Structure 1
């Protein structure tokens, strides 16, 4: 049996080879241009499930990273407020010490009341427009006292705190959850009681504090130094707890970044093109196109029609 060789059959074969060569050239060109082995999951058929799983983990880690950036900023703001309250207790102790050293109390009451306002502003600190120490009542000012006389007007100290018992928790990663919420009454009850003790004495029979200190006033102030040391220590302990959370958050952030880098490397091993190999493939594909085009042109020139002209 003799196989017939026809011009149309030759054209079809050569054209098929030319189109295949052009397709290979386009794919090689895309690989060089994008530096990727493919544009979608179907281009990674053997690894598609693995890629999907890895990208899912990558997305989840990215969500944790974004949340933790916000939480880091919030804890920084919280630390500033806690430091302000602790410094207030230290400032009151310093005011008492200076009054004892000078033997005078000319501006003692005014100075202490200024520190009360400073402490209240610290406990009413906000982040993103929401009160930090209000528990779940984030739109309600958690501490309502404004003057020393408010503390001795009759209502108990607890009535000046408007927070509830809800403490905010945060999930730092898949396995780490911390309680970041701090309540104003936990922070400020002893502090306001100390201010109340001062104001009660100031309004009592041995007060008010004006001019030269009396013996009774000196004895009272000396006794209060230790009390204010204890108040400052309590607030400092709360600030230290916040600092522990900040350090823990920093450690988790570093771990998340390490995991992201590892995932990026693993994904790159699958999706990133070997540029030396891709360049060689492109050159080979370009040569194949040129060869197929040359054969096609040669076939045109050698057809029977051209010979009969």
Structure 2
């Protein structure tokens, strides 16, 4: 009867060592194929929490970038509308300057031009972006300006501030661009610059006959409105720049965090491939040794 020469303990140790080598090779083959250290967080040991934190921060940065991008698009629409308002007011001021310097004024013609300008002004202040009104504060589903409302006077003499045309609220649009920074960029249609513009145009559109005092008052209001609209343009432009800077920072941070996370999770495929070759040779030798040991028996030494 054949008998083992090696003890069971030595044979068992050799098999266990070979199995460990085989397990290591299996993990390295997965790493070689996937390019990452492990398919789950358990395989990263003490680095797992850092990896999770980095992934969360990348996702958070992505949400800030998306919010900034959406806000920037809205700001561009707002800036364009305010620019058109500035052009409208410049033309209206030219109309008033001509009317006040003329020997005689064609009141009906000037009033008609003013009525058209009033409609254009209302339309610009009711500008929408993606279906939302941009100058209505938080009430984005309601047109912020209604000049046909019974509450808005069809004649404004004497001239006093009146924002009864405004249907929105006082909430200013803002966007969170980081954990600690929120940028306000909203402008509402009841802003004093817009109110003065509306009042100046309404003075001319709905007062007949047009007196020199009315024309001068409207001209003064339009001058003040133009200055105010210029300030609004600067404010919107500054907000756009601040949002762009914040978005760029988040993009840079996201790239940094992704690179750091990749460094923690990725493997050097070339190095793993080289190690696999070494382990393969070691495993082959182990199996050969085990086979030789298990093939020995007492009869081999008695013959």
Structure 2: any 5+ residue segments left out of the alignment? Answer: none
Going from structure 1 to structure 2, the CA distance change for 1:29 and 1:236 (only over 3 Å counts) comes to same
1:146-295 alignment to 2 at 5 Å? 151-152=153-154, 157-186=162-191, 187-201=193-207, 203-204=208-209, 225=219, 227-295=221-289
CA distance in 1: counterparts of 2:51 and 2:166, whole angstroms: 53
Deviates more, 1:257-266 or 1:101-110: 101-110
Secondary structure of the 1:39 match is coil
Alignment partner, residue 27 of structure 1: 27
Secondary structure of the 2:262 match is helix
Contact (CA 8 Å) 2:31, 2:38: kept in 1 or not?
yes
CA distance in 2: counterparts of 1:191 and 1:31, whole angstroms: 68
Structure 1: any 5+ residue segments left out of the alignment? Answer: 207-215
CA distance in 1: counterparts of 2:114 and 2:286, whole angstroms: 94
Alignment partner, residue 129 of structure 2: 127
Alignment partner, residue 91 of structure 2: 91
Going from structure 1 to structure 2, the CA distance change for 1:8 and 1:130 (only over 3 Å counts) comes to same
Secondary structure of the 1:178 match is strand
Alignment partner, residue 51 of structure 2: 51
Superposition deviation, residue 200 in structure 1: 4.2
Secondary structure of the 2:164 match is helix
Contact (CA 8 Å) 1:21, 1:292: kept in 2 or not?
no
Secondary structure of the 1:157 match is coil
Contact (CA 8 Å) 2:111, 2:206: kept in 1 or not?
no
CA distance in 1: counterparts of 2:187 and 2:229, whole angstroms: 11
Secondary structure of the 1:173 match is coil
RMSD over aligned CA atoms reads: 3.4
CA distance in 2: counterparts of 1:56 and 1:24, whole angstroms: 31
Deviations 1:102-122 (A, max 9, x none): 988585444433332222111
TM-score by length of 1: 0.78
Secondary structure of the 2:163 match is helix
Superposition deviation, residue 265 in structure 1: 2.4
Alignment partner, residue 77 of structure 2: 77
Instruction: Pick the aligned partner of 2:146 from 127, 144, 147.
Output: 144
Secondary structure of the 1:170 match is strand
Going from structure 1 to structure 2, the CA distance change for 1:166 and 1:298 (only over 3 Å counts) comes to same
Superposition deviation, residue 252 in structure 1: 0.6
Number of aligned residues = 289
CA distance in 1: counterparts of 2:122 and 2:103, whole angstroms: 28
Contact (CA 8 Å) 2:90, 2:226: kept in 1 or not?
yes
CA distance in 1: counterparts of 2:104 and 2:156, whole angstroms: 31
CA distance in 2: counterparts of 1:181 and 1:264, whole angstroms: 33
Contact (CA 8 Å) 2:200, 2:217: kept in 1 or not?
no
CA distance in 2: counterparts of 1:58 and 1:176, whole angstroms: 17
CA distance in 2: counterparts of 1:70 and 1:205, whole angstroms: 46
Secondary structure of the 1:239 match is helix
Going from structure 1 to structure 2, the CA distance change for 1:239 and 1:306 (only over 3 Å counts) comes to farther
Contact (CA 8 Å) 1:84, 1:119: kept in 2 or not?
no
Contact (CA 8 Å) 1:131, 1:139: kept in 2 or not?
yes
Deviations 1:147-177 (A, max 9, x none): 9xx7525798322111122223322112212
